[in-house]
Amino acid sequence: MTTFLGMPATAPPGVGHLRGEVPFPAAAHEALANPQLRRNLHHATSTIRAKSGGVIAELPDWQELRSAGAALKADTMARLPALLEQLEEQVAAAGGVVHWAADANEANQIVTDLVRQTGHDRVIKVKSMATQEIGLNEALESAGITAVETDLAELIVQLGDDRPSHILVPAIHRNRAEIREIFLRAMPGVDAGLTDEPAVLAAAARRYLRETFLSTKVAISGANFGVAETGTLAVVESEGNGRMCLTLPDTLITVMGIEKVVPTWQDLEVFLQLLPRASTGERMNPYTSMWTGVTPGDGPQDFHLVLLDNGRTAVLADEVGRQALHCIRCSACLNVCPVYERTGGHAYGSVYPGPIGAVLSPQLTGLPDNASLPYASSLCGACFDACPVKIDIPSILVHLRNQGPHPRAEAAVMAAAAYTMDHPRLYATAQRAARLSRLAGRRGRGLPPPLNGWSASRDLPAPPRQTFRDWWAKR
Amino acid sequence: MRIALFATCLADTLFPAAAKSTVLLLERLGHEVVFPEAQSCCGQMHVNTGYQKDALPLIRRHVRTFEPYEVVVAPSGSCVGSIRHQHATVAAAAGDASLAARAEAVASRTYELSELLIDVLGVEDVGAYFPHRVTYHPTCHSLRVLRVGDRPLRLLRQVRGLDLVELPDAEQCCGFGGTFAVKNAETSTAMLADKMRHVLDTGADVCTAGDASCLMHIGGGLARLQAGVRTVHLAEILAST
């Protein structure tokens, strides 16, 4: 016998970064008007697309790997509670401490308390979507704790008092001239003669970060994978900053979304092939750090794992939408998305932008809080083809759109259109009436919103003198 | 062969030349075309905008109308995509398993024009003559939902007098996306701007595709720019002699 405990909660408002301030079309309006942003995004996404496409083409079994990844994720989601408990047991057995956080507020409180217990007021961070999602840096700051981002792009975002705009490349919206300005303005101890050469910029960040790595005793990370079988956590990164954070400090706190668990060590074989090729276009990930609990005399001696729900169980409850939890945060869907390429990540209002964000964010928060996101797609399907774990993003978008909420006037028009098209006489009359659109001219003068959105940039088709139906009847 | 034409609501109402050309082309190839008059719309706009409840009667009508026919053709990759990948799903979600099964059966006999010509009728050279410089936009749903691949290009390569030029970044969406074009009109326009730039870069005087909807979008933009490039449905080119 089971007890129904009610539907799982969505991510709470007022904390973290899952909700935009304005609907997508309004946010996109700002972004589209920024030629520098358009240029930066086009350059960056087309570069990554070409690189990723090249290394994917090298693998004869890429499609089989995708299917394997999809199957592993589906299996994991089907028995998530048991796998999480197994992960907890294994982490505890290896000397770690596991904390369960129902939402962003709980996770922020747990991490803040853990840092306080160490007596330190500064932490170093490995790039992590989960901690961006819950607004951990802000929570720590309000507790008097300074969090220093050590991923180069996250550092650029942090020093620029900016927000990340891409899952993998958080500063993708910035070019090197802009990065130079940010460093000159905000990086402590920066050389005033800094140029915008990539190597010079990287060296400046390296100098600043090296001091921080060596003097900070607490680190906070996310996790790409958590292996239930062994209790092993894994972080994959390209810069080595993660390796520093995961090995140098005394205390390591890892915040992991509950969907990041994988059943067995061997499953990593599939994901560690899929992830680098789909994300950065590399054959193998440069720095893959794995650790299991605490190893005496080696690495952090105090390890905490915070398992974060924050709406994920609610996503899991939706039979169609739950596929969004299969995401391994590679960003391939962002890099191929024609909408993302033109609007950038900030337009989505959430730390999860692009196609995956358009299906994940509204499910995590509940649809009414992100109602415009499922419509931020032309349903072109490029994301589905690019996804290394075959998430059918277009179908989830359509599924979410069907759940509303819908504007009342639009719903009335849609109902009337369907009624007309289901009644042949009405339909024939409506078809003939379409010819009256000549009155509006090809420029669509006087069309009401939202139809004037079409005619603002596109001529209307000239209505034919005869419908096909009429032609057929008369031949 | 006796072939039922699903004209699609858009071609029937606004772009009859695409449907007429489909009829004339298939008749020229020696086939009989019938037009079941009870047809209207596949319901894709409703499904994709979030109104599956309203789409259901349209799906029911479509299935009822086309059930009696052994082969159905539509001059639209997008509408065939909806018939093949949405009809049964929407019916099943509404709890109508019988409609879902019937929809699957109709979908399995429904073809986009280039699929019909190459896969069913086994013809690549349809005997057309079209003396123009043409570029082909593959349209997202033909490309990624139906996977028509190079079928339309194989047909175009056989057309006498036709100078086929490759469209740069052809696989990028033109920005139409149904109601996306009005709900996110500015983003849609930004996507269209790049598509038009690529079309103009080819120096073609005609841009063709297998979907009247995408052509309405690209053509609407080109007309606004007075660009001097026409959009012509693939069926019209193949029907030309």
Interface ipTM: 0.97
What is the distance between the alpha carbons of residues A235 and A253, in angstroms, rounded to a whole number? 13
Contact A139, A101 (CB under 8 A): no
What is the distance between the alpha carbons of residues B223 and A459, in angstroms, rounded to a whole number? 6
pLDDT confidence bin for B231, thresholds 50/70/90: very high
Is residue B229 a part of any domain in this protein? yes
Give how far the C-alpha of residue A201 lies from the chain's centroid of Cα atoms, to the nearest Å: 27
What is the distance between the alpha carbons of residues A451 and B185, in angstroms, rounded to a whole number? 9
- Determine contact: A463 vs chain B, CB below 8 A: yes
Residues 75-134 of B with CB under 8 A from A: 86, 89
Q: Which two tokens stand for residue A22?
A: 């304005």
Q: Is the pLDDT at A159 greater than 70, yes or no?
A: yes
Give how far the C-alpha of residue A138 lies from the chain's centroid of Cα atoms, to the nearest Å: 19
Look at A428 and B110; give whichever has higher pLDDT: B110
Total number of domains constituting chain B:
2
What is the distance between the alpha carbons of residues A391 and A331, in angstroms, rounded to a whole number? 12
Chain B residue with minimum CA distance to A38: B190
Considering the domain architecture, whether residues B82 and B157 belong to the same structural domain is answered as no
Give Cα separations from A91 to A127, A254, A266, A313, A346 (angstroms). Answer: 22, 12, 18, 22, 36
Contact B2, B62 (CB under 8 A): no
pLDDT confidence bin for A84, thresholds 50/70/90: very high
Which of A259, A284, A312 is at the close of a domain? Answer: A312
Considering the domain architecture, whether residues B183 and B104 belong to the same structural domain is answered as no
What is the distance between the alpha carbons of residues A466 and A473, in angstroms, rounded to a whole number? 11
A106-140 pLDDT per residue, tens: 999 999 999 999 999 999 999 999 999 999 999 99
Which of B94, B120, B146 is at the close of a domain? Answer: B120
Which chain B residues touch A468 with a CB distance below 8 Å? 7, 11-13, 16, 19-20
Instruction: Over range A301-328, report the average pLDDT.
Output: 97
Contact A234, A227 (CB under 8 A): yes
Q: Is the pLDDT at A376 greater than 70, yes or no?
A: yes
Q: Is the pLDDT at A170 greater than 70, yes or no?
A: yes
The confidence score (pLDDT) of residue A442 equals: 85
What is the distance between the alpha carbons of residues B120 and B70, in angstroms, rounded to a whole number? 12
Considering the domain architecture, whether residues B96 and B206 belong to the same structural domain is answered as no
The CATH code of the domain that includes B188 is: 3.40.50
Is residue A295 a part of any domain in this protein? yes
Which of A312, A332, A357 is at the close of a domain? Answer: A312
> Phi and psi of A55, rounded to 5°?
-80, -25
Q: Is the pLDDT at A71 greater than 90, yes or no?
A: yes
- Determine contact: A442 vs chain B, CB below 8 A: yes
The confidence score (pLDDT) of residue A1 equals: 52
> Phi and psi of A10, rounded to 5°?
-90, 170
> Phi and psi of A420, rounded to 5°?
-60, -45
Contact A377, B48 (CB under 8 A): no
Which of A261, A296, A312 is at the close of a domain? Answer: A312
What is the distance between the alpha carbons of residues A284 and A119, in angstroms, rounded to a whole number? 39
Q: Is the pLDDT at A446 greater than 90, yes or no?
A: no
A223-252 pLDDT per residue, tens: 999 999 999 999 999 999 999 999 999 999
Q: Do B11 and A415 touch (CB under 8 A)?
A: no
pTM attached to this predicted model: 0.96
Half-sphere exposure of B241 (CA within 13 A, CB side): 9
* Residue found by looking up tokens 């294994």 in the block: A90
- Determine contact: B183 vs chain A, CB below 8 A: yes
Peptide bond into A450 cis (omega under 30): yes
Q: Which letter does DSSP use for residue B29 in this model?
A: T
CB burial class (10 A; 0-12, 13-18, 19+) of residue A14? exposed
Which of B52, B86, B120 is at the close of a domain? Answer: B120
Total number of domains constituting chain A:
2
What is the distance between the alpha carbons of residues A167 and A331, in angstroms, rounded to a whole number? 6
What is the distance between the alpha carbons of residues B229 and B219, in angstroms, rounded to a whole number? 8
Amino acid identity at A399? H
Give Cα separations from A202 to A474, B33, B135 (angstroms). Answer: 73, 67, 44
Is residue A401 a part of any domain in this protein? no
* Sign of the C-alpha dihedral computed for residues A58, A60, A63 and A68 taken in this order: negative
- Give the end-to-end CA distance of chain A in Å, rounded to a whole number: 69
Q: Which two tokens stand for residue B38?
A: 């009870």
Half-sphere exposure of A328 (CA within 13 A, CB side): 34
Pick from A440, A26, A424, A390: which is nearest to B40 by CA? A424
The confidence score (pLDDT) of residue A463 equals: 87
Is residue B183 a part of any domain in this protein? yes
SS3 for A281?
coil
Instruction: Over range B64-71, report the average pLDDT.
Output: 98
What is the distance between the alpha carbons of residues A431 and A425, in angstroms, rounded to a whole number? 10
Is residue A347 a part of any domain in this protein? no
Considering the domain architecture, whether residues A299 and A420 belong to the same structural domain is answered as no
Task: Give the other-Cβ count within 10 Å of A94's Cβ.
Answer: 16
Considering the domain architecture, whether residues B137 and B234 belong to the same structural domain is answered as yes
Range of the domain at A470: 409-474
Is residue B126 a part of any domain in this protein? no
B135-167 pLDDT per residue, tens: 999 999 999 999 999 999 999 999 999 999 999
* Mean pLDDT across chain B: 98
Give how far the C-alpha of residue B7 lies from the chain's centroid of Cα atoms, to the nearest Å: 10
Which chain B residues touch A460 with a CB distance below 8 Å? 220
* Mean pLDDT across chain A: 95
**One-character DSSP codes across A74-132:** HHHHHTHHHHHHHHHHHHHHTT-EEEEESSHHHHHHHHHHHHHHHT-SEEEE---HHHH
Q: Is the pLDDT at A2 greater than 90, yes or no?
A: no
Chain A residue with minimum CA distance to B15: A464
pLDDT confidence bin for A432, thresholds 50/70/90: confident
Give the residue from B5, B13, B54, B147 with the most A CB atoms within 10 Å of its CB, the best one to mutate.
B13
Q: Which residues of B31-61 are buried (b: 16+ CB within 10 A; e: fewer)?
A: bebebbeebbbbbbbbbbbbbbebbbbbbbb
What residue spans of A135-282 are helical by DSSP H?
136-142, 152-159, 176-186, 198-215, 241-247, 267-279
Amino acid identity at A357? G
Which chain B residues touch A402 with a CB distance below 8 Å? 47, 50-52
Give the residue from B51, B60, B195 with the most A CB atoms within 10 Å of its CB, the best one to mutate.
B51
pLDDT confidence bin for A434, thresholds 50/70/90: confident
Is residue B53 a part of any domain in this protein? yes
Pick from B205, B173, B13: which is nearest to B77 by CA? B173
Considering the domain architecture, whether residues B116 and B9 belong to the same structural domain is answered as yes
Share of chain A above pLDDT 90, in %: 91
Is residue B128 a part of any domain in this protein? no
Considering the domain architecture, whether residues B99 and B156 belong to the same structural domain is answered as no
Q: Is the pLDDT at B238 greater than 90, yes or no?
A: yes
Considering the domain architecture, whether residues A53 and A195 belong to the same structural domain is answered as yes
Range of the domain at B9: 2-120
The confidence score (pLDDT) of residue A226 equals: 98
* Residue found by looking up tokens 């390591």 in the block: A252
Considering the domain architecture, whether residues B85 and B143 belong to the same structural domain is answered as no
Contacts (Cβ under 8 Å, ≥6 apart) of A393: A333, A355, A356, A358, A359, A377, A383, A384, A387
A382-422 pLDDT per residue, tens: 999 999 999 999 999 999 999 988 999 999 999 999 999 99
Share of chain B above pLDDT 90, in %: 100
Contacts (Cβ under 8 Å, ≥6 apart) of A113: none
Provide the shortest C-alpha distance from residue A265 to chain B (in Å): 34
pLDDT confidence bin for B106, thresholds 50/70/90: very high
> Phi and psi of B233, rounded to 5°?
-65, 145
**One-character DSSP codes across A315-332:** HHT-TTGGGGGG-----H
Considering the domain architecture, whether residues B20 and B115 belong to the same structural domain is answered as yes
Q: Is the pLDDT at B225 greater than 80, yes or no?
A: yes
Considering the domain architecture, whether residues B15 and B116 belong to the same structural domain is answered as yes
Q: Which two tokens stand for residue B22?
A: 């489909």
Residues 16-35 of B with CB under 8 A from A: 16-17, 19-20, 23, 35
Q: Which letter does DSSP use for residue B119 in this model?
A: I
